[in-house]
Amino acid sequence: MPKPILLSVDDDSDVLRAIERDLRSQYGAEYRIMGSDSSEQALDILKQLKVRNDSVALLLADQRMPGMDGVQFLQEAMRIYPEAKRALLTAYADTSAAISAINQASINYFFLKPWDPPAERLYPQLDDMLDDWQASHRPPFEGIRVLGTRWSPRSYELRDFLARNHVPYQWIDIELSGNDPETKRLLEALGPEATKLPVALFPDGTKLLETLPAQVAQKVGLRTRAQTSFYELAIVGGGPAGLAAAVYGASEGLHTVIVEREAPGGQAGMSSRIENYLGFPTGLSGGDLARRAVVQAKRFGVEILAPQEVTGVRTEGPYRILKLADANEISCHALMIATGVQWRRLSAPGVDRLQGAGVYYGGGATEALSCKGEIIYVVGGANSAGQAAMNFAKYADRVVILVRGNSLSGTMSKYLIDQIQQTPNVQLWRHASVAEVHGDSHLAEISILCSDTNAVERVPASAMFIFIGALPQTDWLGDTVERDERGFILTGPDLIRKGDRPKGWILDRDPFLLETNVPGVFAVGDVRHGSVKRVASGVGEGSVAVQFIHQYLSKV
């Protein structure tokens, strides 16, 4: 934790050096000593410290300074750091200035120059002030602070990115917190830059304006570039299937890299609670599962590139070569595709316009606290929708689940259905679909169509979370890897047509169970045709595929 600051201000360089020397001698172990030779410069320093979220314990100013005297400085400084102790340095003839400082700047003490010996005429009084300051001081948050507004899609994207990558941050909604005195002081210190939202503030004083996730990723040290150009195993996608393959592959000696477009964990990483995963009888969140898996993978030497996107693939002899979004390339002998699926888009007027401003795809874990006391809607009837509904029910006044069918029994696990039925503020609306969403700057209302009566009801809504099935994003594979009509990757027996192997297959064997039409290229998890859409099955496929990869590599 950074040391609190003692700031002295005096235009006389000899006096400034002397007071800094005495402060450092007595308090340098616990405090950072700073000095300035002008009041204007000192105010600029305080604004910078406020943006950095540093603590200022003491302001010690000389009275007779050109431009802005000590009393005026302390008055202005008090607007920035009202909790800091304030003291004035005066000459013998400046008693009137000291009295005025007490009345106008609420100073805690005034010192007469010279203050020798400091052990008698400086330190005892400062000790009292600093002890008093320490007694009421609450250390500030030390990580990244994000300033924005709840209904800003860019603010939501940044918060979601930080949360999914397990980067600690403090969220400051300048609309909701605008009347908070500390937020006001921070916005004043930022000046015109406070309008360029979202703003990311770092402990080292760095400010990123109109911030993009990629900028934060670079600043916090998330790895987006590969350490080498060749790997024995490259995995595209960092969900449960990809992470499991990485753990098993690396633990068995394969030089392994994961390339993940957003954050490790995939869609499962966004689940608020998974209660049917083997070995966790009380359940765990998708974020916790992803975090544990990432730690485990890195322990075995897996390199994780995130956020990073693969834009193309080609083969050259025994090499499978990936083209990345930053125009770099990495090659490997064995390639595993574990990109999972993306939520299917809801086709209704207003949805695209309000996405990120009350309309969200997926779990929206970062929005749960913001939904306190509100009415929200969950669209979809699978496990992910049920898990989200139960999580939002802890905060929202009412959670309404909209499903097209007659019940949840065909799409959701019984344990979740039971929980929903036992939670009084969760309602299930059957035969219901979203006809339109309404709102100017953010979601305000939803028009809901009842398929039984063909009637449309317009209801108030603060937020809507969409879980209506998913589709793979596999266009980047081009014509290299065979897929079904919906884009899911064909593997193993699904590639054998009337006893014939895939077109262009050159090996004297059938494709392995999880192998694509390209030897050495495998597909696991939700992106694979015919897969079971469960976390455990993805983990199982990722681990099993490694055995086939070993068999393939033994012949390369």
Residues 176, 209, single domain; the answer is yes
Residues 478, 465, single domain; the answer is no
Residues 130, 39, single domain; the answer is yes
pLDDT at position 50: 94
Boundary residue ending a domain (470, 491, 507) = 470
Which residues, at least 6 apart from 187, have a Cβ–Cβ distance to it below 8 Å?
A: 147, 174, 178, 194
Are the CB atoms for 140 and 55 separated by under 8 Å?
yes
pLDDT at position 497: 85
User: How far is CA 8 from each of CA 70, 128, 135, rounded to the nearest angstrom?
Assistant: 11, 18, 22
Boundary residue ending a domain (192, 217, 242) = 217
Looking at the structure of the chain, the number of domains it has is 4
CATH code, domain with 314:
3.50.50.60
pLDDT band at 102 (very low <50, low <70, confident <90, very high): low
Q: Specify if 44 maps to a domain.
A: yes
- Lowest mean pLDDT: which of 103-107, 409-413, 457-461? 103-107
pTM exceeds cut of 0.85: no
Residues 450, 492, single domain; the answer is no
Mean pLDDT of the chain: 92
Q: Specify if 224 maps to a domain.
A: no
CATH code, domain with 152:
3.40.30.10
Residues 518, 537, single domain; the answer is yes
Residues 11, 100, single domain; the answer is yes
Are the CB atoms for 447 and 350 separated by under 8 Å?
no
The answer to whether residue 96 scores a pLDDT higher than 70 is: no
pLDDT at position 285: 86
Over range 91-102, report the average pLDDT. Answer: 66
Residues 287, 428, single domain; the answer is no
- The separation between the first and the last C-alpha atoms of the chain, rounded to the nearest angstrom, is 53
In the block, residue with structure tokens 């600029």: 44
Amino acid in the structure at residue 212: L
Residues 123, 160, single domain; the answer is no
| Selection from 4, 20, 3 nearest residue 12 by Cα | 20
Residues 34, 91, single domain; the answer is yes
User: How far is CA 47 from each of CA 34, 54, 197, rounded to the nearest angstrom?
Assistant: 14, 10, 19
Over range 149-176, report the average pLDDT. Answer: 92
| Selection from 403, 364, 413 nearest residue 380 by Cα | 403
Most confident option among 65-69, 135-139, 171-175, 423-427 = 423-427
pLDDT digits (tens, 9 = 90+) for 501-522: 998 898 999 999 999 999 999 9
Instruction: Give me the domain span that covers residue 250.
Output: 230-341+472-553
Q: Specify if 36 maps to a domain.
A: yes
pLDDT digits (tens, 9 = 90+) for 267-318: 888 887 888 888 988 888 888 999 999 999 999 999 999 999 999 999 999 9
Q: Percentage of the chain surpassing pLDDT 70?
A: 97
pLDDT at position 190: 94
Q: Percentage of the chain surpassing pLDDT 90?
A: 77
CA angle 554, 301, 276 (to 5 degrees): 90
Q: Specify if 267 maps to a domain.
A: yes
User: How far is CA 326 from each of CA 14, 165, 214, 225, rounded to the nearest angstrom?
Assistant: 55, 20, 12, 9
Over range 478-488, report the average pLDDT. Answer: 95
Q: Specify if 113 maps to a domain.
A: yes
The answer to whether residue 177 scores a pLDDT higher than 80 is: no
The answer to whether residue 40 scores a pLDDT higher than 90 is: yes
Boundary residue ending a domain (430, 447, 470) = 470
What is the enclosing helix (H) or strand (E) of 230? strand 230-236
